[in-house]
Structure 1
Amino acid sequence: METRNELVRTTTRLRQNRVTRGCCLFLALLSIGYAASAASDVDPDAGIICEWGKQGFDLCEHADDEARVEALLAEMSLDEKIGQMTMSIWHNNVSPQVIREKAIGSVIHTEGPVPGDTPADWVAKFNEFQDAALETRLGIPLLVGVDAVHGQNTFEGAVIFPHNIGMAATRNMDLIKRAAEITAIEAAGTGFNWTFSPCIAMPQHEHWGRVYEGFSEDRDLTIAATRASVRGHQGGDLAARHTIAATAKHYLGDGATEGGKEGGNAVMSDETMREVHLPTYAAAVDEGVAAIMVGFNSYNGINMHQNRYLVADVLKGELGFDGVVLTDWDGGQRFGPAHTVINAGVDVAMQPGNHEEFMADLKSSVRDGTVPMSRIDDAVRRILRLKFQLGLFVDPHAREEFGERIGAPEHRAVARQAVRESLVLLKSENDALPLDASKPVAVVGEHADNSGLQSGGWSIHWQGQTESYRGATTILDGISEFADEVEYAVAGCDENMVAETAVVVVGEQPYAEFKGDTDELFLDDRHSEMIRDCRQLGKKTVVVLISGRALAIEPDLATSDAFIAAWLPGSEGGGVADFLYAADGFRPAGKSPYAWPRKVEDLPLAIDDERALIPFEFGLEDY
């Protein structure tokens, strides 16, 4: 008898080749856990399951996916259409029963309870929700989304890559693509078919708490990284089992708000918008990105959730985007009534807190003519099209065979490569680098032995965490792989240490979104003192800075012998050690994706500002 994985492969092959007898496909699908109500017949030529839902709606009566979309749309009630336009959160307001009753079209997993400790637990939970969707009248499958923004960062044990700021520092587009491919596999293996990434903001102000989510302040670098990331997540075929739908976010100008305020107002001319910020989204659309999320910010005083000009006219009209536009968290009513958002061109409302209120509000607006049915149909058509593209009408269930690949050594090796290539050498003097493995080394600072601190926000939890997590390698762990003798102290160097060189690991605490907005863009006093103390004790002082943005570091740079911008490296701290010890002949490769300020008062800096302490694209290429 075939194993489960063999049946999975058989199912995929049947979908692609469409030549095997329908009865065999049907048996294979039943063997991988289909709900009995989901399907009762298969058309091998069409490559889909024919009958869906309690009604047994027959998709095989229609020639292609577009015809099937139109047929489903014509069959749907207003309540079912609004259900498809609604996303809620699985562990709070939505249960399988609510899915059945409301025909909710998508669910999100983010901060809060988790389905369990193993990939199998996650797969089982999200399959339970999927089964509920399949048991509705029309049996339309569920989209299951996650903020997998630097790896499948919500699952403890998955590989967590450097945040986008670090990935862009590598200038290695093949590596960015490979990281996205691995993220897709590990997200699929925990039950997801949709990720809300990549963030393709171009941060213009270091005060913003989301700088690290963007690739760079540079348009062309962001465009290249955007293309690589979308290709990696989605591959050449969204229906392939190892791919997931990607989401470019946050449209538009989220990184250009006044004062770098999260959700603030981006004031710019139409010319600047089109020359600087829009091209990244044009690139994402050109790559076939499945979805685009609008931002919390306003553009010249009009919130992006309600900006019909930029969403309906520019994004969907001028750029020809035919995918799904969705809100950010609770965006369906956060800035005004539901009709103001839907009429602007948004298709899916992410409503973890109040999906029932949103649905009732939207239904009332359709009934009284405020929202035309043509707008509802356009939204639902886009949602259904994505579900067909993802192959959910062939196999809606989670890709459980990828569970065993989560955190796999080959995945961690790619992340480790990304870490060492992302590090930017800002200073190297007095032969402080590379380190000699035969000599004792002092390692100091809490960031050196804490994978939570080295990963930043959006790591296991929304705001990250200040303790280590399972499966990760800290920077100290990595150094210990090389050095014969390591002296570690959280508080800093002391006179009893015998090592001649000290690696001082300092940086920011984890943060995400508005909680990272700050004016304090410099190291705190105790970290600066730690650097000075090690130097005053006569040690060669190598500083490793963990940060989600370029800080004002001029005094700390002057105190050090070597200084490395390590960004937020994620789970593979061994990559930092590879850099420090020039493992296997490694030479520094990272280039700064931002200009660094000499002092906070100089911000915001233009990308070519002569006042910069460290210019954009700087990075020493030798020790």
Structure 2
Amino acid sequence: MHGTQKFDLCQFNTPDEKVAALLDEMTLQEKLGQITQSVWHNNVSPEVIQEFGIGSVIHTEGPTPGPKALDWINTFDEFQNAALQTRLGIPLLVAVDAVHGQNTFEGAVIFPHNIGMAATRNLELIQRSAQITALEAAGTGFNWTFSPCIAMPKHEHWGRVYEGFSEDRDLTTAAVIASVRGHQGQDLSLPHTIAATAKHYIGDGGTDGGVEGGNTTISEQELREDYLPPYAAAVEQGIASIMVGFNSVNGVNMHQNGYLVNDVLKGELGFEGVVITDWNGGLRWGEPHLVLNAGIDVVMQPGNHEEFITRLEASVRDGTVPLARIDDAVGRILSLKFALGLFDNPFGKREYATGIGSQEHREVARQAVRESLVLLKSEGDALPLQSDEPIAVVGEHANNSGLQSGGWSIHWQGQSESYVGATTILGGIRAAARNVEYAEAGCHGAMTANKVVVVVGERPYAEFKGDSDELWLSDEHKALITGCKTLGKQVIVVLISGRALVITDELKSSDAFIAAWLPGSEGAGVADFLYGADGFTPKGKSPYAWPAAIEDLPLEADAEHALFKFGFGLSQY
């Protein structure tokens, strides 16, 4: 029996029959509530869930439920209880941007961003990392993640390059298959699985000039041959949801692109899951009916749910949005909730709370880090380091887990402070070596070590705040490298970045150069690489081509004038 009406779903045998029965019973207001997603801490409360019948909530930047996993579960269970006390007792979807681990919870394992995971070329590792992400997300009260991002970034100017796996179609396709299998397993109703989301459909990584939310000018042939196959693979794997992008394709915004959503995604590819907007997607570009009629099923409205529902209801009542379109959207949402087993077990998975940030999980992330690093240069026996030789470590990025993790780490824009549970790169080196000097500001004349690990790179950013034309190291970071070299040191550069940068001069000033991407919480994996721990040899292959000069961008993967082509990576020190 469900809800205050004690609606009996047991009289129906199959999920499809149960969905049809609920649709027959639901009022228009209840259906519009199911379509609506809001932010739990933004103008939403359990009472609002009941009043509007809201079908899903998301956790994003802002207040957290508390420092402990059970605080999170208790909070979301309170919202879930409110949903269960509505007339029909339809449970909530509870979503999060867990894009490289459950990265919104301080103390969870944070994996390398997708750019690094793709560099490993280890599909089993990508799948295992997604499994751990699902466990740690479920253990903090979530049943849905907005991951993986399968953009194929074509412009390093774009602030979301690191969210995508690669510029390469085939590598991206293989990675999304592994990710979906990891998140969703064989059966979404099992407690250790969560619904995954492929995003951002479609062409978000190919906008003109690499502008976040810009226009992607592209031929139909290129769209189908290059950008569509990863989504087709995700659909074939049974991915639960797909998020449309902020971008437009040939002038038509993806939130209103009926051809690409209705005709191609749902029609040609046969996608039967849920299509969701991005942030404020139902009102950002005009009236809600333009979004619903384009084939969107769930609409993310942070705090302005009442305005969205009111305006959409008017469009349904005047016939602008057919009731059949509303029923199709709600039917998809209900089907996902049945697939997740929420009608039987709607609450957070307390049994997984104690495993969050476990040593077992961290060991997998540490493996991902060491396998993701790409050795771009190695000369003069600079590597591997020996545990008994004096080593100096330079640069603030070496001693700061926030800086080494990038955006979408604890906070939307990341943070410039270390966070709970993480190991810095310096911490990893100190655990591996006997004689380590840390000189954050740079090499100096009294420094005894001949070899210096210089850790430099970008500061954290996310989305449009990462769009940039300055794709090179800061003068301060360049000076750290040249300063050490001027003193006659052997310089091993570890570059922390969410994209390929212009490093031509810095490469010349180094004896070894490592692209470390955004490694996440397990900085000891960098030390494993530097010291060749347990016989380790470099495995990472670059998921992007590297420009020799800023004028080279955008750069084709196999461009002859590239500093390094796609797939480059030394396999011996």
Q: TM-score, normalising length from structure 1?
A: 0.92
Partner of 1:500: 450
Q: Does 2:44 correspond to 1:94?
A: yes
Percent of residue pairs bearing the same amino acid type: 71
Does structure 1 residue 581 correspond to structure 2 residue 531?
A: yes
Alignment counterpart, residue 246 of structure 2, candidates 286, 292, 296:
296
Shift of 1:607: 1.1
| Equivalences, count | 573
Alignment of 1:127-138 (within 5 A): 127-138=77-88
| Equivalent-residue separation in structure 1 for 2:186 and 2:306 (angstroms) | 37
Residue number in structure 2 paired with 1:113: 63
Q: Deviations over 1:81-101 (max 9, x none)?
A: 000000000011110000011
- The match for 1:47 is none
1:484 CA displacement: 0.4
> Which residue of 498, 503, 516 corresponds with 1:553?
503
Counting only pairs closer than 5 Å after superposition, residues 508-547 of structure 1 correspond to structure 2 as 508-547=458-497
Structure 2 counterpart of 1:281, from 231, 235, 254 = 231
Name 1:336's counterpart in structure 2.
286
Give 1:146 deviation, angstroms: 0.1
8 Å CA contact 1:330–1:353 kept in 2: the answer is no
2:359 maps to 1:406: no
What's the counterpart of residue 367 of structure 2? 417
Rounded to whole Å, the distance in 2 between the matches of 1:449 and 1:122 is 29
CA contact (8 A) 1:202 1:218 kept: yes
**Structure 1 counterpart of 2:158, from 208, 212, 225:** 208
The residue type equivalent to 1:492 in the other structure is: G
1:198 to 129, 148, 155: 148
**Structure 1: 5+ residue stretches without partners:** 1-50
Query: How far apart in 2 are the matches of 1:84 and 1:133?
Result: 11
Q: In structure 2, which of residues 382, 387, 390 is the aligned counterpart of residue 432 of structure 1?
A: 382
| Contact 2:80 2:92 (8 Å CA) reproduced | yes
Secondary structure class of the residue paired with 2:198? strand
Which structure 2 residues correspond to residues 183-262 of structure 1 after superposition, within 5 A?
183-262=133-212
- Ranges in structure 2 where 5+ consecutive residues have no aligned partner: none
CA-based RMSD of the aligned residues comes to: 0.4
Corresponding residue of 1:8? none
Pair 1:57-2:7 in alignment? yes
Q: How far 1:66 sits from its partner (Å)?
A: 0.5
Q: How does 1:142-153 map to 2 (within 5 A)?
A: 142-153=92-103
> Aligned with 2:47: secondary structure?
helix
Secondary structure of 2:426 counterpart: helix
- Cα distance in structure 2, aligned partners of 1:333 and 1:319: 27
Instruction: For residue 389 of structure 2, give the secondary structure of its aligned residue in structure 1.
Output: coil
2:347 is aligned to 397
Matched, 1:322 2:272: yes
Alignment of 1:342-357 (within 5 A): 342-357=292-307
Q: Give the aligned partner of residue 215 of structure 2.
A: 265
1:249 aligned partner, one-letter code = K
3-state SS of paired residue (1:425):
strand
Deviation at 1:474, TM superposition (A): 0.2
Structure 1 letter corresponding to 2:57: V
Whole-Å Cα distance in 2 between the matches of residues 285 and 110 of structure 1? 26
Q: SS where residue 464 of structure 2 aligns?
A: helix
SS of the equivalent of 1:57 reads: coil
Q: What letter matches 2:336 in structure 1?
A: L
Given the alignment of the two structures, is residue 474 of structure 1 paired with residue 424 of structure 2, yes or no? yes
CA distance in 1 between counterparts of 2:43 and 2:18 reads: 31
- Cα deviation for residue 611 of structure 1 reads 1.2
Whole-Å Cα distance in 2 between the matches of residues 312 and 358 of structure 1? 22
d(CA) in 2 for partners of 1:372, 1:470? 50
Residues 151-190 of structure 1 aligned to structure 2 (within 5 Å): 151-190=101-140
Partner of 1:122: 72
Distance, in Å, in 1 between the alignment partners of 2:530 and 2:559 is: 30
Q: Which amino acid aligns with 1:64?
A: T
Deviation at 1:353, TM superposition (A): 3.2
Q: Post-superposition shift, 1:476?
A: 0.2
Deviation at 1:466, TM superposition (A): 0.4
1:612 corresponding residue in structure 2: 562
Q: 1:282-334 deviations in whole A, cap 9, x for unaligned?
A: 01000100000000000000000000000000000000000000000000110
* SS of equivalent to 1:469: coil
Q: Distance in 1 between matches of 2:477 and 2:436?
A: 20
**Equivalent in the alignment of 2:30:** 80
Q: How far apart, CA to CA, are the structure 2 residues paired with 1:336 and 1:215? A: 32
Q: Any idea what the Cα deviations from partners look like across 1:504-550, whole Å, max 9, x if unmatched?
A: 00000000000000000000111111101111111110000000000
The 1-side partners of 2:404 and 2:303 are apart by 31
CA contact (8 A) 2:44 2:303 kept: no
1:157–1:406 CA contact under 8 A, matched in 2:
yes
Residue-by-residue CA offset, 1:530-578 (whole Å, 9 max, x unaligned): 1011111111100000000000100000100000000000000000000
| Separation (CA, whole Å) in 2 of partners of 1:601 and 1:344 | 38
Q: CA deviation at 1:352?
A: 0.7
Contact 1:265 1:298 in 2 (8 A): yes
Distance in 1, Cα, partners of 2:283 & 2:202: 19
Alignment match, 1:25:
none
Measure, in 1, the Cα distance between the counterparts of 2:46 and 2:339. 24
Contact 1:425 1:563 in 2 (8 A): yes
Take 2:439 and 2:23, find their aligned partners in 1: how far apart are those partners? 64
Once the 2 structures are TM-superposed, how far is the Cα of residue 264 of structure 1 from its aligned partner?
0.2
